[in-house]
Amino acid sequence: MLWQKPRFLSSKAEALQAALEEFCPRLSTPDELKRFYDAISPDMDPSGFTLYRMAKELTGIDVPSCFPYEDNRGLFEEMSGHSLLDWLTAVHFRAVDWDIIPGSTYESATLREVDTSTSEYQAFEKQLYAKVLERMGFQSLLGPEQEAGAITELKQHSPQPKRGGETR
């Protein structure tokens, strides 16, 4: 009897996926993509690391490398993927203020609010959530423009990470 449970759960998942495809409109706007992710993430990406890793892949930004002072203090050790994404987004959209640490060559970062109304941010968010949903197996729910799967080069807009204690 126990051997039937995995097969039942697999069939149930397939049936739910088919129902979603039948009744759910294609996800095409950043708000729709994000809303769908937010609905499934508590079970499929509770700490947000799938989201963060995809943003890292799209931008080429490694958060600890960009913030050596904070990394040396262990700030990123216990962070969730959602928190790391805030840091990645801030550095990618140049929403970081830098202050020299007295008596050192290090700089401390202060994150500013990212302007989410810009077309660049909207394009980033749309691509990020579409790629995450695709990776999670929901590609059949994506609108036609997301199905192509091509990764736009977001890396060209990303700042180079700081090295050691260099200042900007």
- Residue-number span of the structural domain to which 103 is assigned: 27-157
**What is the reported pLDDT for 150?**
43
pLDDT the model gives residue 82 = 97
Angle at 139 between CA 135 and CA 145, to 5 degrees: 115
- pLDDT tens by residue, 8-57: 777 777 776 666 666 666 788 888 899 889 999 999 999 999 999 999 99
Q: Is residue 14 part of a domain?
A: no
Cut 0.85: pTM above it: no
Residue 164 included in any domain: no
Q: Using pLDDT thresholds of 50, 70 and 90, give the confidence band for residue 138.
A: confident
Task: Name the average pLDDT for the chain.
Answer: 83
d(CA 116, CA 86): 12
Report the C-alpha gap between 134 and 139 in whole angstroms: 4
Residue 144 belongs to a domain = yes
Residue 162 lies in a domain: no
Specify if 166 maps to a domain. Answer: no
Please answer whether residues 37 and 142 qualify as being in contact, where contact means their C-beta atoms are separated by less than 8 angstroms.
no
Token representation of residue 116:
């989410």
Instruction: Quote the pLDDT of residue 142.
Output: 84
Overall domain count for the chain: 1
- 118-132, pLDDT tens digit by residue? 999 999 999 999 999
Q: Note whether residue 5 is domain-resident.
A: no
Chain centroid, CA 70 distance in Å: 20
Q: Which of 70, 62, 63, 159 is nearest to 106 (CA)?
A: 70
Q: Is 15 a member of any domain?
A: no
98 belongs to a structural domain: yes
